[in-house]
Amino acid sequence: MSDPTAGLNSEQLGAYFALMEVSSLLQYAVEEHLRADGDLSWVQFQILARLVDAPEGRLRMTDLADGVVYSRSGLTYQAGLLDKRGLITRSPSPEDERSVMVTVTDAGRELVARVLPGHVARVRGLLFEAMSDEDLAALGGVLARVRAHMRATPPRSAKRRAGRSGAG
Amino acid sequence: MSDPTAGLNSEQLGAYFALMEVSSLLQYAVEEHLRADGDLSWVQFQILARLVDAPEGRLRMTDLADGVVYSRSGLTYQAGLLDKRGLITRSPSPEDERSVMVTVTDAGRELVARVLPGHVARVRGLLFEAMSDEDLAALGGVLARVRAHMRATPPRSAKRRAGRSGAG
DNA sequence: TATTGTTATACTCTATAACTATA
DNA sequence: TATAGTTATAGAGTATAACAATA
């Protein structure tokens, strides 16, 4: 564990910078592919991927916002683009008339299916090719723990309606 | 290792998503702080931090671009902002008249010093607080290996003058 | 009153291509 | 010819605040 009053030691600094560089390079490579192969931004791909995984391919805007985007207007903007292209549809929820249900269309599912192989190929080639099975287990374990910690840690300056689960 | 023709298994998928979410949340939190505390973007902070660590506080534009930014014009833009604020200076290099040497000013050093404690505090609170010493060693080891692999792996569509070391 | 979502607006950042200048 | 950097420009994405509608 770490002393909350001290700076970061060199091992922590190294891990921090490595994390940021690795994720940056990975996201850049993946976005480049998504854009070239499916004309999708990272956020758009995440929205579609979540919907494809959801029961009946449907989620509320609020559920989508949570974890994908840091502001609601940002989600509305991206959903608008996907809607225009016929990859999703939006309709008012019958249960709660304030809510909007977002549904993947067949075209949306097809696009995800078309883009996915190249996507995972890039992730494998950049991220997992350099990893042993033990590396993978270790990385996955630590990151899962850290993610749970982050989700449970509210931002210092908690904003109202910030979109993130921890920020509301 | 992983079969280059197969998809990702669930452990790999989980590690991939966890990596992206962790780095996204961390970068968001850190950027929020940098903006509030020093009116700095993430890229601007990285530029200043690199200069502070460099001998005599100086680097060429090209050296700065490498690893910080994905296009040269992007670096020129950010450097222009830092220059306007008096945090860096730019002058033609005596050795190679094509090059521009970027130097941190005292004001730039002071700003980094002022912002750094809060910066590392956020990183510690979000990333390292949930980690044991063994976690840290494991994470650092894997990420260092992955980073080296990524740096050695040129993008499929190698662009000329893309700014990244691997992409040029 | 609080929540869900949209819209208007303004802004930041990025990338491409064209350009200058030096090696 | 190749490299270093800037500029013009255009586009993508974001966030804030104001808004309407429902709970």
Indicate if the pLDDT at residue B168 is higher than 50: no
From the number of C-beta atoms within 10 Å of its C-beta (0-12, 13-18, 19+), residue A37 rates as middle
In Å, how far is A48's CA from the nearest CA of chain B? 15
Locus of tokens 């994390």: A19
Of A108, A58, A70, nearest in space to A88 by CA: A108
In Å, how far is B104's CA from the nearest CA of chain A? 21
Across the interface, whether the CB atoms of A130 and B148 are under 8 A apart is answered: yes
* Average of per-residue pLDDT across B75-81: 98
Residue-level pLDDT at A167: 34
CB A115 within 8 A of CB A63: no
Distance CA A23, CA B22 (A): 9
Q: Class of A13-153+162-167 per CATH?
A: mainly alpha
* CB A47 within 7 Å, strand D: no
Task: Work out the pLDDT band at A168, boundaries 50, 70, 90.
Answer: very low
Q: Check residues A164 and A154 and name the one with the higher pLDDT.
A: A154
* Average of per-residue pLDDT across A112-136: 97
Indicate if the pLDDT at residue A2 is higher than 70: no
Task: Work out the pLDDT band at B1, boundaries 50, 70, 90.
Answer: low
pLDDT in tens, A37-69: 999 999 999 999 999 999 999 999 999 998 899
Task: Work out the pLDDT band at A160, boundaries 50, 70, 90.
Answer: very low
How many angstroms separate the CA of A42 from the C1' of D13? Answer: 11
Minimum-distance nucleotide, CA of B93 to C1'? D4
Task: Work out the pLDDT band at B153, boundaries 50, 70, 90.
Answer: confident
Segment among A68-72, A160-164, B104-108 with least mean pLDDT: A160-164
The structure tokens listed for A11 are 């091992």
Q: Check residues B59 and A159 and name the one with the higher pLDDT.
A: B59
Indicate if the pLDDT at residue A129 is higher than 70: yes
Residue-level pLDDT at A4: 59
Indicate if the pLDDT at residue A163 is higher than 80: no
* CB A97 within 7 Å, strand D: yes
The structure tokens listed for B112 are 């980094």
Task: Work out the pLDDT band at B158, boundaries 50, 70, 90.
Answer: very low
Across the interface, whether the CB atoms of A11 and B117 are under 8 A apart is answered: no
Query: Which positions of chain C lie under 7 Å from any protein Cβ?
Result: 3-9, 12-17, 21-23
Compare all CA atoms of chain B with the CA of A1 and give the residue at the minimum distance: B132
Q: What is the average pLDDT value for chain B, to the nearest integer?
A: 90
CA A72-A78-A81 angle, 5° bins: 145
* Average of per-residue pLDDT across B8-33: 96
User: What percentage of chain A has pLDDT greater than the value 70?
Assistant: 89
Distance CA B151, CA A55 (A): 39
Domain ranges of chain B: 11-151+161-165
pLDDT in tens, A75-103: 999 999 999 999 999 999 999 999 999 99
CA B89-B95-B98 angle, 5° bins: 70
Amino acid at B85: R
Q: What is the average pLDDT value for chain A, to the nearest integer?
A: 91
Strands, sheet with B88-92, edge to edge from the N-terminal-most edge strand: B58-60, B100-104, B88-92
Question: What would the 3-class secondary structure string for chain A be?
Answer: CCCCCCCCCHHHHHHHHHHHHHHHHHHHHHHHHHHHHHCCCHHHHHHHHHHHHCHHHEEEHHHHHHHHCCCHHHHHHHHHHHHHCCCEEEEECCCCCCCEEEEECHHHHHHHHHHHHHHHHHHHHHHHCCCCHHHHHHHHHHHHHHHHHHHHCCCCCCCCCCCCHHHC
Residue-level pLDDT at A7: 85
Task: Tell me the fold of B11-151+161-165.
Answer: Arc Repressor Mutant, subunit A (1.10.10)
